[in-house]
Chain A
Amino acid sequence: MSALLEKLKKYVGAESEPIVYFIDTGAIKFFAESIMDPDPLYRDESYAKTTKHGEIVAPPTFYGGATSLGNVTAGDARTVLSVDIPMPPGWAGLNAGDDFQLFAPVKPGDTLTCREKVVDAYEKQGRSGHLIFVIREKTFTNQHGQVVLVRRGTSVLRKPAPEEERHQ
Chain B
Amino acid sequence: MELPPLTKGPIMIRQLAMFAAATAEFVDIHYDKDFAQSVGLPDVIIQGWYKTATIAQMLKGWAGDGNALKRLTVQYRGMDVAGNTLTAGGKVLRVSRESNGKRVECEVWVDNQLGQRTATGTAILVLS
Q: How far is the CA of A96 from the CA of B23 in the complex (A)?
A: 18
Structural contact, B21 and A66, CB atoms closer than 8 A: yes
Structural contact, B49 and A61, CB atoms closer than 8 A: yes
Q: What is the interface size of chain A, counting residues whose CB is below 8 A from a CB of the partner?
A: 47
Structural contact, B40 and A167, CB atoms closer than 8 A: yes
Does any Cβ of B come within 8 Å of A108's Cβ? no
Partner of B39, one of A36, A61, A65, A167: A167
Give the number of A-B contacts (CB < 8 Å).
130
Chain A residues near B (Cβ < 8 Å): 21, 27, 30-31, 33-37, 39, 41, 52-53, 57, 59-62, 64-69, 74-75, 77, 79-80, 92, 94-103, 105, 154, 160, 164-165, 167-168
Closest 10 CB pairs of A and B: A34-B18, A167-B40, A34-B22, A31-B22, A60-B56, A34-B19, A79-B24, A97-B75, A99-B73, A95-B48
Chain A residues, Cβ within 8 Å of B74: 97-99
Structural contact, B71 and A99, CB atoms closer than 8 A: yes
Structural contact, B67 and A105, CB atoms closer than 8 A: yes
Interchain residue pairs with CB less than 8 A apart (17): A31-B19, A33-B18, A33-B22, A35-B50, A37-B57, A59-B57, A60-B66, A61-B49, A61-B56, A61-B72, A66-B21, A66-B24, A75-B26, A79-B26, A95-B76, A97-B75, A167-B38
